[in-house]
Amino acid sequence: MDTAPLGITDALDLARRLPALVGVAAIPVPVFCHPEGAERTRTLLRFAFCKRIDVLQEAAGRLATLRDLL
């Protein structure tokens, strides 16, 4: 997920706040990159989809409210 359309330029900060905001966890993509590549991925979050469909649907609904919470 690219956080830039939400006006968020620091995915690491959002990843830290997401559980409290909407009860969903994400991993900021820059943690997987070398420092020189981290800037290009600064606004990207990664989610795991190895969950039951009902859990994923609930998470999607919660994430849909994120724009209103920021």
In the prediction, which pLDDT does 19 show? 97
pLDDT for 70 equals: 82
Instruction: Return the pLDDT at 16.
Output: 96
Query: Is 20 buried (19+), middle (13-18) or exposed (0-12) by CB count in 10 A?
Result: exposed
Spell out the domains of the chain, with CATH numbers in brackets: 4-69 (3.90.1150.10)
Closest by alpha carbon to 18, among 26, 6, 28? 26
pLDDT of amino acid 67: 86
pTM, full prediction: 0.84
| Average pLDDT, 10 consecutive residues per value, the chain (70 residues) | 93 96 96 84 94 95 90
